[in-house]
Amino acid sequence: MGMDFRYRKLGYVALTVTDVEKSAAFYQDMVGLDAAGEGPGGSRFFRCSNDHHNVILYPGTAGGLKRIGWQMESDASLDAAFGHFGDIGLKPQWLDAGEQQALKQGRTFRMTEPNTGATFEYYADISQFIPPYSRKVTKIARLGHVVLTVKEFAKARQFFTEQLNYRISDYIPGAFAFMRCFPNPFHHSLAIGQGTEDRLNHVNFMVTDIDDVGRANIRAQKMQVPIVFGPGRHPPSDSIFLYYLDPDEMTVEFSFGMEEFPEVGPRAPRMLEPSLETLDYWGGAPSPRFGAKGVIETVG
């Protein structure tokens, strides 16, 4: 079979938070997501598109990553992914009808990504809201990417590209890989970095213009939200960024501008220098709190 499955996009990220009310307010008033109702177990749905959800918050004992949802291009791609992951021993499991209904998704399966222990979820269909996302706080264009740190970077990089159908856009040898979920055009929907532990590093939302980044910078200061890096400009993707902390000190990023790759004939990945210039053209550096919190929730 092999990797004959195609992604549509990074669909959603599910986070555990220690105070759902507080985090719900933060993700609406600081980040700018629209609330989209309540789910099972005290969970809350949020969106920045017509999708039923692009973020789910679950109550938990620590801030962390509960799972990452990937939307596949079609039912055929969903089945092909399920088949391939089963063939290579990942034991993907379909959700039962009740769980799918609670998530307002079509057929959905999950598996444990073996390098990070993170739960990866796959679906092709998700219920669509008719009223558009309000864009009233921030003109979020999309949930952009998730970055994880991994202890076994080299193994993970190989696995993501050879088994999960991600393509490297740029990389820092032995340290970092920016990956697109093929054939989605964006420079990275997922990135992994060498770390001392398997952990969530940050969750990114792409915004529509530079004013969204500038306004967020002022809003964070007014709301006493810690800014941990930026505003600045990333060389790898040429994007203007701002990173700040959510109430559990998980790192959230806004960025504006990102290279898009054609499906056929994309440029070769660039090998980048592991220097601070790799991180910010403007000379800034992340604070020690950047990417420091965010346990990866593992399933028993």
Q: Which residues bind Fe ion (CB under 5 A)?
A: 204, 253
- Do 163 and 88 meet the contact criterion of CB atoms below 8 Å apart? yes
Nearest to Fe ion of 288, 300 (CB atom): 288
Task: Tell the smallest beta-carbon distance from residue 253 to Fe ion (Å).
Answer: 5
Nearest to Fe ion of 81, 191 (CB atom): 191
Task: Tell the smallest beta-carbon distance from residue 115 to Fe ion (Å).
Answer: 19
Nearest to Fe ion of 194, 204 (CB atom): 204
- Quick one: 1 exposed, middle or buried, by C-beta within 10 A (0-12, 13-18, 19+)? exposed
Nearest to Fe ion of 246, 253 (CB atom): 253
* Short-list 195, 272, 179, 183, CA closest to 234: 272
Task: Tell the smallest beta-carbon distance from residue 75 to Fe ion (Å).
Answer: 31
DSSP assignment of 152-165 equals SHHHHHHHHHHTS-
Q: Radius of gyration (Cα) for the chain, nearest Å?
A: 18
Nearest to Fe ion of 19, 249 (CB atom): 249
- Quick one: 102 exposed, middle or buried, by C-beta within 10 A (0-12, 13-18, 19+)? middle
Task: Tell the smallest beta-carbon distance from residue 147 to Fe ion (Å).
Answer: 6
Question: Tokens 């193994």 appear where?
Answer: 155
Provide the CB-side half-sphere exposure for 190 (13 A, CA). Answer: 29
Q: Which residues pair with 65 in a beta bridge?
A: 15, 296
Task: Tell the smallest beta-carbon distance from residue 67 to Fe ion (Å).
Answer: 19
- For residue 231, cis peptide bond before it (omega within 30 degrees of 0): yes
Residue 15 and residue 2: Cα distance in Å, rounded? 31
Nearest to Fe ion of 112, 189 (CB atom): 189
Nearest to Fe ion of 30, 258 (CB atom): 258
DSSP assignment of 212-248 equals HHHHHHHHHHHTTPPEEEEEEE-TTT--EEEEEE-TT
For 42, which DSSP code?
G
Query: Which residue of the chain is nearest Fe ion when measured via CB?
Result: 204
Task: Tell the smallest beta-carbon distance from residue 83 to Fe ion (Å).
Answer: 32
- Do 167 and 75 meet the contact criterion of CB atoms below 8 Å apart? no
Task: Tell the smallest beta-carbon distance from residue 234 to Fe ion (Å).
Answer: 7
Nearest to Fe ion of 6, 180 (CB atom): 180
Which tokens go with 149? 């740190």
Task: Tell the smallest beta-carbon distance from residue 229 to Fe ion (Å).
Answer: 10
